[in-house]
Structure 1
Amino acid sequence: MTGAFRGFGLSILTLTILGGCAATPSSDTQQTQVTTQASTQVALATPPSVDQPLTLKQIMANPDWMGILAKGEYWSDDSQSVYFARQAHQSPLLDYYQQPLVSGEAAKLALDALHQADQQYGVMDEARSRKAYIYQGNLFVKDLLSGKVSQLTRQNTKVDGVRFLTNGDIAYWQGEQVFRIHGDSGLYEQIANIKMVKQPKGVEAPSSYIAKQQHRLIEYVALKQNQAKEKEQYQVELAKQDPTMTAKTWYLGDEETVSQMSLSPDGRYLLLSLVDKNYSWRAEHDIMPNYLGSQGYVDAVPARARVAEDKYPGERLVLLDLEQHEKRDITIEGLTGFDEDVLASVKAENAKAKGETYKSEKSPRKVQLMQDWGWTQSAMQWQAKDNKVAIMLEAVDNKDRWIATLNLKSGSLKTEHRLHDDAWVNYNFNQFGWLPQSDTLYYLSEETGYSHLYLKASGAKPQALTQGKYVVSDITLGPKAEYIYYKANKDHPGIDNVYRVNIADGQSEQLTQWDGQLDYSLSPDGSKLLLKASRRTQPSELYVQAIGGELKQLTHYTSDAFKQYAWQAPEVVKVPSTHGAGDVYARVYLPQGFDKARADKYPAVIFNHGAGYLQNAHYGFSGYFREFMFHNLLTQQGYVVMDMDYRGSKGYGRDWRTAIYRNMGHPEVEDLKDGVNWMVANTHVDLKRVGTYGGSYGGFLTFMALFTEPELFQAGAALRPVSDWAHYNAPYTSNILNTPDVDAIAYERSSPIEHAQGLQKPLLVMSGVLDDNVFFQDSVRLVQRLIELEKPMFETAIYPVEPHGFRQPSSWLDEYRRIFKLFEQELK
Structure 2
Amino acid sequence: MRILNKLLLLICLFSGLSGISQVKNESTLSLDQIMKGDAFVGHLPERISWSDDSKSIYFSWNPEADTISSRFKVAIHTKAIKKLSTEELHTQTSNGIYTHDNLWKVYEKNGDIYLLNTKNFAVTQVTNTLAYETNPLFSGDEKDIIFQSNANLFKWNISKGTTTQLTNFNTGKKPNEDKKLSEQDQWLKDQQLQNFQVLGERENVQKASKYRRELTKVKKPRSIYLEGKRLRGLKISPNLNYVVYNLFSPVKNKNTVVPNFVTASGYTTDITTRSKVGGKQATSETWIYNIHKDTIYQVKTDKIEGVFDKPEYLKDYVVKDSVFNPKFKNPRYVTISSPIFSDDNKAIVNITSQDYKDRWIMSLDVSTGDLKLIDRQHDDAWIGGPEVGWFSRGTIEWLDNNRIWFKSEKTGYAHIYIANVNTGKISPVTSGSYEVLETTLSKDKKSFYLVTNKVSPFEQHFYHLSIKTRKMTQITSLKGGHEVTISPDEKQLAIRYSNSTTPWELYVMPNKMNGKITQLTNSVTQEFKDYNWKQPEIIRFKGNDGADVPATLLKPTAEKNNGAAVIFVHGAGYLQNVHHWWSSYFREYMFHNMLVDNGYTVLAIDFRASSGYGSDWRTGIYRHMGGKDLDDQIDGAKYLIENQGVNKDKIGIYGGSYGGFITLMAMFKYPDTFKSGAAIRSVADWSNYNHGYTAPILNTPVEDRIAYNRSSPIKFAEGLKGNLLILHGMVDTNVHFQDVVQLSQRLIELKKENWEMAIFPVESHGFVEASSWRDEYRRIFKLFQETLND
> Do both proteins adopt the same fold according to a TM-score greater than 0.5, normalized to the shorter chain?
yes
- Offset at 1:579? 2.3
- Offset at 1:319? 1.2
Match of 1:307 among 277, 281, 288: 277
Q: Kindly indicate whether the alpha-carbon contact (under 8 Å) linking 2:93 and 2:107 is maintained by their aligned counterparts in 1.
A: no
Aligned partners of 2:571 and 2:21: how far apart in 1? 32
Instruction: Deviation per CA, 1:167-216: give whole Å up to 9, x if none.
Output: 22101011321111112321111111111333222254644313431442
The verdict on how the C-alpha distance between 1:480 and 1:752 changes in structure 2, with shifts beyond 3 A counting, is same
Q: Kindly indicate whether the alpha-carbon contact (under 8 Å) linking 1:189 and 1:246 is maintained by their aligned counterparts in 2.
A: no
Range 198-207 or range 732-741, more displaced? 198-207
- Offset at 1:332? 1.5
Partner of 1:257: 230
TM-score, normalised to structure 2, is 0.93
Give yes or no for the alignment of 1:415 onto 2:373: yes
Aligned partners of 1:262 and 1:89: how far apart in 2? 45
Give yes or no for the alignment of 1:95 onto 2:70: yes
Aligned partners of 1:698 and 1:633: how far apart in 2? 20
Q: Kindly indicate whether the alpha-carbon contact (under 8 Å) linking 1:534 and 1:540 is maintained by their aligned counterparts in 2.
A: yes
Q: Kindly indicate whether the alpha-carbon contact (under 8 Å) linking 2:567 and 2:603 is maintained by their aligned counterparts in 1.
A: yes
Partner of 2:4: none
Aligned partners of 1:74 and 1:262: how far apart in 2? 27
1:437-586 map, 5 Å = 437-458=400-421, 459-546=423-510, 547-548=512-513, 549-580=515-546, 582-586=547-551
The verdict on how the C-alpha distance between 1:205 and 1:711 changes in structure 2, with shifts beyond 3 A counting, is closer
Partner of 1:348: 315
SS at structure 2 position matched to 1:757: helix
- Offset at 1:334? 4.7
Instruction: Deviation per CA, 1:649-671: give whole Å up to 9, x if none.
Output: 01111111111000101111211
* Residue identity matched to 2:611: K
Instruction: Deviation per CA, 1:695-739: give whole Å up to 9, x if none.
Output: 000000001111111111000000000011111111111110111
Match of 1:210 among 170, 178, 185: 185
Aligned partners of 1:586 and 1:425: how far apart in 2? 26
Aligned partners of 1:651 and 1:34: how far apart in 2? 40
| Long gaps (5+) in structure 1 | 1-16, 21-27, 42-51, 371-378
Aligned partners of 1:543 and 1:183: how far apart in 2? 38
Instruction: Deviation per CA, 1:27-79: give whole Å up to 9, x if none.
Output: x977763544458x9xxxxxxxxxx7100111112522321111110222222
- Offset at 1:233? 3.8
Q: Kindly indicate whether the alpha-carbon contact (under 8 Å) linking 1:160 and 1:174 is maintained by their aligned counterparts in 2.
A: yes
Partner of 1:426: 384
Partner of 1:145: 119
* Residue identity matched to 2:234: M
Q: Kindly indicate whether the alpha-carbon contact (under 8 Å) linking 2:434 and 2:454 is maintained by their aligned counterparts in 1.
A: yes
Q: Kindly indicate whether the alpha-carbon contact (under 8 Å) linking 2:39 and 2:65 is maintained by their aligned counterparts in 1.
A: no
Partner of 1:274: 247
Match of 1:33 among 12, 19, 27: 19
Give yes or no for the alignment of 1:69 onto 2:44: yes
* Residue identity matched to 1:111: T
Q: Kindly indicate whether the alpha-carbon contact (under 8 Å) linking 2:45 and 2:61 is maintained by their aligned counterparts in 1.
A: yes
Give yes or no for the alignment of 1:84 onto 2:59: yes
Give yes or no for the alignment of 1:766 onto 2:724: no
Instruction: Deviation per CA, 1:727-767: give whole Å up to 9, x if none.
Output: 11111111101111211110111111111111111111111
Percent of counterpart pairs with the same letter? 33
Q: Kindly indicate whether the alpha-carbon contact (under 8 Å) linking 1:610 and 1:696 is maintained by their aligned counterparts in 2.
A: yes
Q: Kindly indicate whether the alpha-carbon contact (under 8 Å) linking 1:334 and 1:415 is maintained by their aligned counterparts in 2.
A: no
SS at structure 1 position matched to 2:460: strand
Aligned partners of 2:727 and 2:201: how far apart in 1? 77
Aligned partners of 1:298 and 1:519: how far apart in 2? 43
Q: How many residues align?
A: 767
- Offset at 1:247? 2.4
Aligned partners of 1:225 and 1:793: how far apart in 2? 88
Partner of 2:220: 246
Partner of 1:6: none
The verdict on how the C-alpha distance between 1:87 and 1:746 changes in structure 2, with shifts beyond 3 A counting, is farther
Q: Kindly indicate whether the alpha-carbon contact (under 8 Å) linking 1:19 and 1:796 is maintained by their aligned counterparts in 2.
A: no
Q: Kindly indicate whether the alpha-carbon contact (under 8 Å) linking 1:530 and 1:544 is maintained by their aligned counterparts in 2.
A: yes
Aligned partners of 1:213 and 1:92: how far apart in 2? 76
Partner of 2:134: 160
Give yes or no for the alignment of 1:674 onto 2:641: no
Range 621-630 or range 452-461, more displaced? 452-461
The verdict on how the C-alpha distance between 1:91 and 1:794 changes in structure 2, with shifts beyond 3 A counting, is farther
The verdict on how the C-alpha distance between 1:89 and 1:325 changes in structure 2, with shifts beyond 3 A counting, is farther
Aligned partners of 1:33 and 1:434: how far apart in 2? 61
Instruction: Deviation per CA, 1:206-256: give whole Å up to 9, x if none.
Output: 4431343144226476666555544544444344xx3xx4323223x4141
Partner of 1:237: 215
The verdict on how the C-alpha distance between 1:103 and 1:254 changes in structure 2, with shifts beyond 3 A counting, is same
Match of 1:603 among 560, 564, 568: 564
Give yes or no for the alignment of 1:623 onto 2:584: yes
The verdict on how the C-alpha distance between 1:235 and 1:801 changes in structure 2, with shifts beyond 3 A counting, is farther
The verdict on how the C-alpha distance between 1:336 and 1:203 changes in structure 2, with shifts beyond 3 A counting, is closer
* Residue identity matched to 2:339: M
Partner of 1:701: 662
Aligned partners of 1:232 and 1:633: how far apart in 2? 84
Instruction: Deviation per CA, 1:777-812: give whole Å up to 9, x if none.
Output: 011111111111111111001111101000000000
1:721-736 map, 5 Å = 721-736=682-697
SS at structure 1 position matched to 2:453: strand
Instruction: Deviation per CA, 1:250-294: give whole Å up to 9, x if none.
Output: 23x414111221122222221112110x425xx525321111232
Instruction: Deviation per CA, 1:504-561: give whole Å up to 9, x if none.
Output: 1212111111211122122222222222111001111122221122112222222232
Q: Kindly indicate whether the alpha-carbon contact (under 8 Å) linking 2:255 and 2:272 is maintained by their aligned counterparts in 1.
A: no
Match of 1:364 among 300, 307, 331: 331
The verdict on how the C-alpha distance between 1:503 and 1:779 changes in structure 2, with shifts beyond 3 A counting, is same
Give yes or no for the alignment of 1:289 onto 2:259: yes
| Long gaps (5+) in structure 2 | 1-9, 389-393
* Residue identity matched to 1:419: Q
* Residue identity matched to 2:551: A
Range 208-217 or range 462-471, more displaced? 208-217
Q: Kindly indicate whether the alpha-carbon contact (under 8 Å) linking 1:19 and 1:795 is maintained by their aligned counterparts in 2.
A: no
The verdict on how the C-alpha distance between 1:31 and 1:555 changes in structure 2, with shifts beyond 3 A counting, is closer
Give yes or no for the alignment of 1:684 onto 2:645: yes
Aligned partners of 2:660 and 2:610: how far apart in 1? 15
- Offset at 1:337? 1.3
* Residue identity matched to 2:232: S
Q: Kindly indicate whether the alpha-carbon contact (under 8 Å) linking 2:43 and 2:65 is maintained by their aligned counterparts in 1.
A: no
Q: Kindly indicate whether the alpha-carbon contact (under 8 Å) linking 1:717 and 1:765 is maintained by their aligned counterparts in 2.
A: yes
Q: Kindly indicate whether the alpha-carbon contact (under 8 Å) linking 1:768 and 1:801 is maintained by their aligned counterparts in 2.
A: yes
The verdict on how the C-alpha distance between 1:18 and 1:248 changes in structure 2, with shifts beyond 3 A counting, is closer
Aligned partners of 1:752 and 1:60: how far apart in 2? 29
- Offset at 1:683? 2.0
Q: Kindly indicate whether the alpha-carbon contact (under 8 Å) linking 2:344 and 2:401 is maintained by their aligned counterparts in 1.
A: no
The verdict on how the C-alpha distance between 1:463 and 1:358 changes in structure 2, with shifts beyond 3 A counting, is closer
The verdict on how the C-alpha distance between 1:222 and 1:34 changes in structure 2, with shifts beyond 3 A counting, is same
Q: Kindly indicate whether the alpha-carbon contact (under 8 Å) linking 2:79 and 2:520 is maintained by their aligned counterparts in 1.
A: no
Aligned partners of 1:58 and 1:403: how far apart in 2? 51
Aligned partners of 2:63 and 2:659: how far apart in 1? 27
* Residue identity matched to 1:297: Y
